Amino acid sequence: MYVVFLGAPGAGKGTQAGVVAEKLKLAHVATGDLFRAALKQGTPLGLEAKKFMEKGTLVPDEITIKMVMERLAAPDIKNGVILDGFPRNTEQAKALDAALPKTGKKIDKVVYIKVSEPELIKRLAGRWICRDCQTPYHEIDNPSKVKGKCDKCGGQLYQRADDTVETVKNRLKVFFAETAPLIEYYTKTGKLVEVNGEGTVDSITKSIIKALGDKPTQK
């Protein structure tokens, strides 16, 4: 199954993709995480992406599409994938629609995780991320068991450089201008399912799995 998670910054794409991918045995590909990993390694891709990420604007399509296509060719994608944060504009969606059929694949569902603006801002202001496995936490609403440490891998938690008030404002603007049109794009193809992204993490996971029309594989 090939699934896209669509949602504003802070909607819970990363939180839900982590859980749902594990339950449904899908790979989790997050373009933001790929850029941050490249930056951590100091690669030319990472350094180029940084210029855009720190302003909260989109990394150019050419770079992003190439990176995603390379990632989708990896062996761990064979059972399917949750794409978190890609596509993020119509150009990227068209590129994906053109590339997937060449490998006999297609997007099966697009989950739009809807969250109100005040809630998004509150979530991003209190977010902490694991340096090692990228799992997001929230200092009040979704804290780690041990302060500053990841529940999953024990990694150190940090706050993202683009979670400042100014950059968040810009990321939201970019979402409404460039990414929100994808809601209509995927509605037209009959692939979009909307999920209320407010509530407990568990209840939202259940809604998403229900929306995907799939029972989670038992562990």
Can you give the binding site for ligand AP5, defined by CB under 6 A?
Answer: 7, 9-15, 31-32, 35, 52-53, 56, 58-59, 64, 85-86, 88, 92, 123, 126-127, 136-138, 141-142, 171, 199-201, 204
Does the active-site annotation cover 88? yes
Torsion angles phi and psi, residue 129, rounded to 5: -125, 145
CA 35 – CA 18 distance, rounded (Å): 17
From the candidates 71, 88, 109, 123, which is the catalytic residue?
88
Does the active-site annotation cover 171? yes
Of 104 and 155, nearer to ligand AP5 (C-beta) is: 155
DSSP 60: P
From the candidates 13, 36, 71, 109, which is the catalytic residue?
13
**Residues 34-48: b if buried by 16+ CB within 10 A, e if exposed:** bbbebbeeeeebbeb
Contact indicator for 208, 114 with CB cutoff of 8 Å: no
Site string for Zn ion, 145-174 (x = CB under 5 A): -----x-xx-x-------------------
Contact indicator for 125, 20 with CB cutoff of 8 Å: no
- Answer yes or no whether residue 14 interacts with Mg ion by CB under 5 A: yes
Of 142 and 187, nearer to ligand AP5 (C-beta) is: 142
Of 15 and 208, nearer to ligand AP5 (C-beta) is: 15
Q: Which residue is nearest to ligand AP5 (CB)?
A: 32
Does the active-site annotation cover 123? no
Task: Say which entry of Mg ion, ligand AP5, Zn ion, none residue 152 contacts (CB below 5 to 8 A, set by partner kind).
Answer: Zn ion
DSSP assignments along 11-80, one per residue = SSHHHHHHHHHHHHT-EEEEHHHHHHHHHHTT-HHHHHHHHHHTTTPPPPHHHHHHHHHHHHTSGGGTT-
- Positions marked active-site: 13, 88, 127, 160, 171
